[in-house]
Structure 1
Amino acid sequence: MRDTYRNPRTQEASVSPRERSDRTAAADALCVAAFEKTGAPVTGLSLVAVGGYGRGELAPYSDLDVVLVHADDVDPGEAAEQVWYPLWDSGSRLDHSVRSLSEMVSTAGQDLKVALGLLDARHLAGDAHLTLQLRTTMLTHWRREARDRLPELRDLVRARHELLGELAHLSVPDLKEAAGGLRDATVLKALVATWLVDVPHGELERRRLALLDVRDVLHGVTGRATDRVAPEHWADLAPGLGLDGEAAAQVHVRDLGRAITHLSRLTWRRVESVLARPTSPRHARTPALTRLAPGVALSRGEVVLEADARPDRDPLLLLRAAVEAAERDVVLAPPTAARLAREAAPLPDPWPPEARHLLVRLLASGRGLLAVWETLEETGAVARALPEWDRIRTLPHASPIHRFTVDRHVVETCIEAASLIRDVGRPDVLMVAALLHDIGKGGLTEHSVAGEPIARAVATRMGFEPEDVERIARLVRWHLLLAETATTRDPEDPATVALVTDCLVDPETVTLLLALSEADARATAPKAWSTWRAGLVTDLARRVLAAMDVDAPAVDPQPDLPVPAAVRAGGFDLQVEADGDGARVTVLAPDRVGLLADVAAMFALQRASVRAARAWAQDDYAISVWDVADQLVDPAVLRQRFEAVVAGRIDPTSRLRPADTAGLAPTVGVRPEASRGATVLEVRAADRPGVLYLTLAALASLDVMVRSAHVDTLGPQAVDVFYVQEDGAGALSEPRAAEAAHAVRAVLGGDLSVLTPPDHE
């Protein structure tokens, strides 16, 4: 029965490898007994375990992958059913098939997944010689055809990685299929079986077995066969793994995934190098070393040390080797990196200029940085030069909008910043600021505040001049300033520009921060630097530079649009244009209280997701531009919706009641410092249809005029900022501002009593 080999202990301090062995032995006994009861012939027929069962790695709820193999001249008859029924009756989950030996070879030749599974074939019962013949034949074919089949396998692995992401960075990691998971570990063993490349066996086995332990505990915690670790499982996994709390469990699993990912990338680079080399025996001699820099050479596509290199006498050797590998986008041999981490002389404090120059070259090397940095991390070399890195290593981001852990995000930011160094006057400052911009994460203090003194200390140790140290520290402190201000404040308001100029002080810092903001956003998620957001941030930076009397391009005010005759007659105009992966909708109508609420209702009723919006007044007319996610939004349908809302034929309030807000309660704040001529309300709420409409409707019910709106969506949260005034007057009084904030808060919390039917006359 299944319980014979299911691990019943889910809260132990550790997982014993003996348990997997016991489960496998129990399953083997079931299979052997079932086969023997059939009375099948002693020769020409064998029961074989394949895949994870063949490797003896059964988890508590694993399937039994078995094949009944028969010689080509042997008819298995009814033996198959006689084997399967007892196994089904035992409660086992069974993945089974019946194949002749020639069918097995033929199928494996056509299907890579079958071929990989048969590399782990293990005899269970019947004709052991037939099983041995199968294993020998499959291994021979695999090695003989490796050069032809490995490109296809590489493509399969890449496609899986692109589809599922990396185990080390996923919010819901897949222990088996994600990059760095058990499937990759199995592929690595198959690569070793080709005899073309090797993998550090001890490192791989240690991480693979530890990941199997995690899967064992996960099965016990969930009570089912699963490889996906949902957020609620971390706390229950920790005791079974002998770890203290869910944070430790996350770090443990992500570290395992990171290590296997690194081994996988390294091995595939070596495979590509082997496939690119001639196969003639005369080219198989020991390759000559090509000298790249003092102490550093290239051998078969990998950066290594020259024979006479003396790491203990050359503190720059580690950085020199890393730079050569990253700039050439080749492998930094892990034994070389490990030796340098172990033996290299420490850098003096402060660093000499050449060390700083090498670090900047490394950070600015582009895509080649990632693999080299991973090698430096795995061998402990990063900690030697930058001990502060441990603060953020394997640290998950709090916001789900981020696709990577903090440390990987920082590396990706450096890669993005490398493409922008021609746009700034101090690329060295930009690259070091990119490296340190999130160094303050992981504590209770806001990370940009916590990161400033750390960045100052690191930059000082690196030997930067005092004014550059302060600039790097300032960039770290305010690295979110341009992006947050541009998306939540009115750039036309002098207070907005003054806020930025007070923080950034000089034009050079503004230019550097603009580049850092772009790199940071691009490294966060593909859509975090949309055309819309890029335009807002760039426009704000230009306004700040203009305020600093810098010779910058002229700052364009909000454009004046021609007013169609229909709008002058009291109607409206609506235009839609495709914009990237969405659409941009421009609405022009006579200005009035409640107009923006009606437009927001139009989008909400159409279930068009508003990613960002801007609104401003032009004489007696209101212009609003809306960035929506749906590229196929139909302008005719939008017009019909808007007309129905304005005419009162549709009551948006009844259709857009707020959903349960228990997960993320709305907050509404008044920001008196943000503007001198208007009252600024900042609204944060769970992003869902109707939030924007309900907010604007609540303001309209109080006869509050929205002079400017700045709408943005950050992951699951909507961040909307409204510059409001009394109709025909200036900023709201304190009591009126408090009343407006209370009304919005109440509506978003579910109390719709403050809303009154809008008057469109």
Structure 2
Amino acid sequence: MSAPVSRTRRLSDGTPSREPHRSRGRDSVTAAQRQARATSADELCREAYAASAGPVAGVALVAVGGYGRSELAPHSDLDVVLVHEDGVELGDLGSTLWYPLWDSGRRLDHSVRSMGEMLDAAADLRVALGLLDARHLAGDPGLSLRLRATMLADWRRQARTRLPDLKAMTRKRHEVTGELAHASVPDVKESEGGLRDAGVLKAIEASWLVDASTPALEAARMMLLDVRDEVQELAGRPSDRIAPEMWAPLADRLDLRDAEAAQRHVRSLGRRIAHLSRLAWRRTDAVTGRSSAGTKGRRTPALARVAPGIAISRGEVVLDKGTSPGDDPTLLLRAAAEAASRDAVLAPTTAARLVREGVELPVPWPASARDALVRLLASGPGLLPVWETLDEIDGIETFLPEWEQIRLLPHASAIHRFTVDRHVVETCAAAGSLIRGVRRPDLLLVAALLHDIGKGSLQDHSVAGEPMARKIVARMGFTDLDAEVVASLVRWHLLLANLATTRDPDDPATTAELLTHVPDAASLELLRALTEADSKAASPAAWTTWRASLIDRLVSNAGHALGAELTHDLPPTSLPVPDVVRRDTGAVSVEISPHEVGATVTVIAADRVGLLADVAGGLAAMRVPVHAARAWAQVDTEGEWGVSAWEVSDAYLDPAVVRERIRRVVEGTQRMPDLPARRDDELPPIVEVRPDASRASLVLEIRTSDRPGVVHRVLTTLAGLGLTVASAHVSTLGPQAVDVFYVQEVGGVRPTEERAAAAAHAVRTALGG
């Protein structure tokens, strides 16, 4: 198990907060280096101003932005403005001042403006933010002081109209850069939770409308500045992005144990700043009359009681008058549930007091604590901000100490867009929208909370998580039977998706394998909902209409086997064969159905050996990325038909063009794209025979790096051996292709073991293994 890299500390006001690893004395060293860089740049600027013989009065050289804060990184620009009174003549100063600075080799971002022009330029939010940190360098200090005072006064005067614009600009940046806590290549400056957001919080503070600056913010900001300095030193240029290969050397520079510790450290800083930013913006919205809580134009009471011991004040959940945290061990969970269900702020000082002065929950928990947890998890969009507050003040460990094992743990799979802990919260939020479809919504929500609790150990997380979940659920006061249901869901939460996407959902052997681990309809219902929530939380690509249809088909088959009727709508098992295909056995029907993430290309033709390979070849020739595919044979009184449905990212394909490409592949006139050779740093392809997966077919499971033409190469190889594909299940998970083929001899006979081994070897060789 990975050792945690954070520890608990208390801020000066007594608020508990997590502090990421910090080497003794290291912060003072890096801060001193930044100050030394700024001092050296100051001297250079002053010497250049003196050499240019600038006027004594009415003109000043000022530093703005990061340079104004004396926080120069190793490769920062010198951001300076030569400002002058409106009537002052600069002579040659404006053109001669910059030459010594350019000659020094320093990167320079400069401008020349009058005081009037400065006010006009400040209409641009980016300029206005930089001027809030204006600092005198040379010339008339009185003018520099007046400039700073004027800019601050102008900012405060227009804050109610400018802050909403600043929020919109910040959101647009976040959409492009992602979150520092979760982005695969985070930008320590521009990502959500980065240094830019810390600067925005200081600008909010400067408006005097909201108290947005805290000791926790400044501590995180300073440590993130240290990170940025080391990133630029590693990159050797003014880059603030942390590439995957930089984590290990960054750990060395930050005196951390390893690359994972470096990730946890940096991402924890980003999460803290992002959390403080969200809290500040909610408070800003309330002040500017743009609160989502609908309080605009209404006077809210100072303190309104909403539950025993709990009240709400100005949109934030606090303790009611006279409430003592030590009298009720359920108070923290109940306050959190109240805030989340109302989509209100759980006041951090209140939450911190509850952690500091509260008493431990008894074991087993009382029903009121259990109900509060379920209500909290079911709160939908209100869950995340409240959970983040609990995380920041060490509140989660008071009722779920196992949380520390997955806190800020990076996911090993590229398909996941969040760290493990955030993924769990997103899974709970997604499960909250599915609770009406299950008979035990409380068990679904608790299973969503615990489904990845086993990660961070050396054992498979599903196996490790099962006994942990059983113990936790029993501690919460659920019955032994409920604990077994949740533990089973944790153990098999990946089973349904794996079977549906890598096996034939209509094969009785697939249903039998599912029912080996899911013994009843209620558990099947819960597993289906957990699978959807888990997939949606991973990434949009993990839950598409295509995947949902495969999972629902398998669930329906399993439900019928159990004698249960499940309500999920399923596509038809067989598709109607077009008349043109029935009349002409050489004809190919192509239909394209656009949907939310691309299109489904459905191809029907008279079945034959190599048909599926030809269709895959036609798509490969068009360089159309295939995200998933399913193929099967249909038999009716008039013949046997090959049907295939391909999920592609291009919603604007022309059916006639696809038909033409398939025809040219059949005729051998289509030049196929070369399959790129496997790189040295790529794992070799895995081609395995699954002898027990089907009674009627040879099942080949293939895992390889996703490259153009993989499916075509596999199918062509099988066709060359005289083998037919009864059904195929193709899926792409991030950079990996996971393809399963149900293979038969001509006539529907299951291949022998020798033929199976030969097919596996031939496919492995074709893929470069």
Task: Give the TM-score normalised by the residue count of structure 2.
Answer: 0.93
Render the CA deviation track for 1:558-594: whole Å, top value 9, x for unaligned. 2142242445432122222222231111111121111
- Does structure 1 residue 186 correspond to structure 2 residue 221? no
SS in 2 for 1:397: coil
Matches of 1:716 and 1:411 in 2, distance apart?
25
- Map residues 392-411 of structure 1 onto 2, 5 A cutoff: 392-411=406-425
Render the CA deviation track for 1:162-213: whole Å, top value 9, x for unaligned. 2211100011000001000000000000111111111342111100000000
Residue of 59, 63, 72 corresponding to 2:77: 63
Matches of 1:747 and 1:336 in 2, distance apart?
63
Residue of 640, 643, 656 corresponding to 1:623: 643
Counterpart of 1:730 in structure 2: which amino acid?
V
Residue of 108, 126, 130 corresponding to 2:139: 126
Shift of 1:224: 1.0
Find the counterpart in structure 2 of residue 532 from structure 1.
Answer: 546
Counterpart of 2:468 in structure 1: which amino acid?
I
Q: Which moved more, 1:610-619 or 1:115-124?
A: 610-619
- Does structure 1 residue 549 correspond to structure 2 residue 563? yes
Matches of 1:39 and 1:200 in 2, distance apart?
41
Render the CA deviation track for 1:680-700: whole Å, top value 9, x for unaligned. 000011111100001111111
Task: Give the TM-score normalised by the residue count of structure 1.
Answer: 0.94
- Does structure 1 residue 523 correspond to structure 2 residue 537? yes
- Does structure 1 residue 111 correspond to structure 2 residue 124? yes
Shift of 1:531: 0.8
Residues 577 and 118 of structure 1, relative CA distance in 2, 3 Å threshold? same
Q: Confirm or deny: 8 A CA contact 2:506 2:553 kept in the other structure.
A: no
Find the counterpart in structure 1 of residue 661 from structure 2.
Answer: 641
Shift of 1:552: 3.7
- Does structure 1 residue 237 correspond to structure 2 residue 250? yes
Counterpart of 2:648 in structure 1: which amino acid?
V
RMSD: 1.9
- Map residues 321-340 of structure 1 onto 2, 5 A cutoff: 321-340=335-354
Give the fraction of aligned pairs with identical amino acids, expressed as a percent.
58
Shift of 1:657: 5.2
Counterpart of 1:737 in structure 2: which amino acid?
A
Shift of 1:120: 0.2
Matches of 1:578 and 1:488 in 2, distance apart?
24
Q: Please identify runs of 4+ aligned residues in structure 1 that moved more than 4 A.
A: 12-15, 283-287, 553-557
- Does structure 1 residue 146 correspond to structure 2 residue 153? no
How many correspondences in the alignment? 734
Find the counterpart in structure 2 of residue 558 from structure 1.
Answer: 573
Matches of 2:124 and 2:160 in 1, distance apart?
16
**What residue ranges of structure 1 are gaps of 5+ in the alignment?**
1-11, 751-761
Shift of 1:268: 0.5
SS in 1 for 2:380: coil
Residue of 736, 760, 763 corresponding to 1:717: 736
SS in 1 for 2:731: strand
Matches of 1:363 and 1:591 in 2, distance apart?
50
Residue of 563, 568, 581 corresponding to 2:597: 581
Q: Confirm or deny: 8 A CA contact 1:71 1:100 kept in the other structure.
A: yes
Shift of 1:608: 0.8
Find the counterpart in structure 1 of residue 684 from structure 2.
Answer: 665
Counterpart of 2:177 in structure 1: which amino acid?
L
Find the counterpart in structure 1 of residue 753 from structure 2.
Answer: 734
Q: Confirm or deny: 8 A CA contact 1:521 1:528 kept in the other structure.
A: yes
Shift of 1:709: 0.3
Find the counterpart in structure 2 of residue 746 from structure 1.
Answer: 765
Counterpart of 1:742 in structure 2: which amino acid?
H
- Map residues 279-678 of structure 1 onto 2, 5 A cutoff: 288-552=302-566, 558-571=573-586, 572-619=588-635, 620-652=640-672, 655-656=674-675, 658-660=677-679, 662-678=681-697
Q: Confirm or deny: 8 A CA contact 1:685 1:719 kept in the other structure.
A: yes
Matches of 1:557 and 1:496 in 2, distance apart?
19
Render the CA deviation track for 1:369-415: whole Å, top value 9, x for unaligned. 10000000000000111010011110111111111111111101111
- Does structure 1 residue 208 correspond to structure 2 residue 227? no
Render the CA deviation track for 1:506-539: whole Å, top value 9, x for unaligned. 1001001111111111111122211111111111
Find the counterpart in structure 1 of residue 271 from structure 2.
Answer: 258
SS in 2 for 1:148: helix
Counterpart of 1:734 in structure 2: which amino acid?
E
Matches of 2:753 and 2:270 in 1, distance apart?
54
Q: Confirm or deny: 8 A CA contact 2:685 2:704 kept in the other structure.
A: yes
Residue of 153, 160, 176 corresponding to 2:173: 160
SS in 2 for 1:527: helix
- Does structure 1 residue 227 correspond to structure 2 residue 235? no
Residue of 195, 210, 218 corresponding to 2:231: 218
SS in 2 for 1:66: strand
Q: Confirm or deny: 8 A CA contact 1:658 1:690 kept in the other structure.
A: no
Counterpart of 2:646 in structure 1: which amino acid?
W
Counterpart of 1:500 in structure 2: which amino acid?
L
Matches of 1:319 and 1:542 in 2, distance apart?
38
Render the CA deviation track for 1:43-98: whole Å, top value 9, x for unaligned. 01100000000001000110000000010001222112221100010110000000
**What residue ranges of structure 2 are gaps of 5+ in the alignment?**
1-24, 292-296
Shift of 1:551: 3.2
Matches of 1:577 and 1:188 in 2, distance apart?
47
Q: Confirm or deny: 8 A CA contact 2:621 2:670 kept in the other structure.
A: no
Counterpart of 2:717 in structure 1: which amino acid?
A
Q: Confirm or deny: 8 A CA contact 2:676 2:708 kept in the other structure.
A: no
Matches of 2:316 and 2:571 in 1, distance apart?
52
